[in-house]
């Protein structure tokens, strides 16, 4: 009995340590995203003089930066392979708009600043997606294996970070779990960094997203109930297999 208690304590301690590491990694994701937003704002102000309509065609900051880096001062955009950066619809819209451009090329100094800012932002994005995301995904099954089995590692990480950990999650009634994250900015390192004005974090999980839109509200209620149960199993350190 004492050995089982010790083992449970060591598992709980490891999970707590993992969660602290996940929080630190998420903080780095937040910093990376904020840096990308700032660099995108700077680039769009400068490159907007060269291609004013690009931002309306390519609203996503990271994709915009890739497009700006690819286009630069090129006068004939049809010679570029924008398909590797943009969707087919965006490529067509950008190409058609570019054909009508009458703006002056950027100065060498301005173009160099744009390229440097794009490269810096894209490097932050690469570190986030290739290093921080995999780290977070690898730790979540050790922290809350049963919740991860339901929601996946990314959504679980969002949920635990939003409420402050597994101990806080188990105290939240399932009806309240449905609205965690509603109307707030989604955590930057996960899924989307958009405002979730109408839905909570649980709305992003595959179990809900795979339902028809008219069934998602009911699916969220069911998932919230299962998450409440799974979080208690994880908090008690039983059912660790995630089965």
- What is the arithmetic mean of pLDDT over 165-181? 87
Q: What percentage of the chain reaches a pLDDT higher than 70? A: 84
232 Cβ partners below 8 Å, 6+ apart? 170
- Going through the chain in order, the beta strands assigned E by DSSP cover 184-185, 195-196
Euclidean distance between CA atoms 133 and 41, whole angstroms: 24
Which pLDDT score, from 0 to 100, does residue 184 have?
52
The CA dihedral of 75, 78, 83, 87, to the nearest 10 degrees, is: 80
pLDDT digits (tens, 9 = 90+) for 83-99: 999 999 999 999 999 99
Which pLDDT score, from 0 to 100, does residue 191 have?
40
pLDDT for 228 beyond 90: yes
Which pLDDT score, from 0 to 100, does residue 11 have?
58
The token pair at 117 is 């800012």
Which pLDDT score, from 0 to 100, does residue 141 have?
87
Which pLDDT score, from 0 to 100, does residue 197 have?
42
More confident of the two residues 197 and 89: 89
Least confident of 56-60, 101-105, 132-136, 209-213: 132-136
Band of residue 51 on the pLDDT scale cut at 50, 70, 90: very high
Number of neighbours of residue 169 by Cβ within 10 angstroms: 24
Least confident of 150-154, 199-203, 204-208, 238-242: 238-242
More confident of the two residues 103 and 22: 103
Which pLDDT score, from 0 to 100, does residue 9 have?
53
Band of residue 223 on the pLDDT scale cut at 50, 70, 90: very high
- What is the arithmetic mean of pLDDT over 166-193? 70
The long-range contacts involving 4-13, CB below 8 angstroms and separated by at least 24 positions, are 8/237, 11/237, 11/240, 12/237
Q: What percentage of the chain reaches a pLDDT higher than 90? A: 49
Band of residue 185 on the pLDDT scale cut at 50, 70, 90: very low
pLDDT for 183 beyond 80: no
Which pLDDT score, from 0 to 100, does residue 140 have?
85
Global pTM reads 0.69
85 Cβ partners below 8 Å, 6+ apart? 63, 66, 67, 70
- What is the arithmetic mean of pLDDT over 154-165? 83
């Amino acid at each position: 009995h004492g050995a089982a208690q010790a083992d449970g304590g060591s598992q709980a301690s490891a999970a707590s340590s993992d969660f602290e590491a996940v929080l630190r990694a998420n903080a780095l994701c937040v910093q990376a995203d904020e840096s990308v937003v700032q660099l995108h704002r700077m680039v769009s102000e400068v490159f907007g003089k060269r291609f004013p309509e690009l931002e309306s065609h390519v609203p996503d900051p990271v994709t915009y930066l890739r497009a700006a880096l690819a286009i630069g001062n090129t006068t004939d955009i049809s010679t570029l392979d924008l398909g590797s950066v943009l969707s087919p619809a965006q490529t067509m819209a950008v190409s058609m708009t570019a054909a009508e451009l009458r703006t002056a090329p950027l100065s060498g100094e301005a173009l160099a600043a744009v390229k440097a800012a794009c490269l810096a932002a894209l490097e932050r994005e690469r570190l986030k997606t290739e290093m921080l995301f995999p780290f977070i995904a690898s730790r979540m099954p050790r922290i809350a294996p049963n919740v991860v089995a339901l929601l996946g590692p990314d959504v679980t990480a969002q949920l635990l970070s939003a409420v402050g950990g597994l101990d806080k999650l188990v105290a939240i009634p399932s009806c309240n779990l449905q609205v965690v994250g509603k109307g707030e900015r989604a955590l930057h390192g996960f899924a989307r960094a958009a405002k979730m004005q109408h839905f909570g974090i649980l709305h992003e999980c595959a179990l809900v997203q795979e339902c028809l839109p008219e069934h998602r509200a009911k699916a969220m209620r069911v998932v919230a109930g299962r998450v409440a149960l799974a979080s208690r199993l994880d908090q008690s350190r039983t059912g660790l297999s995630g089965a």
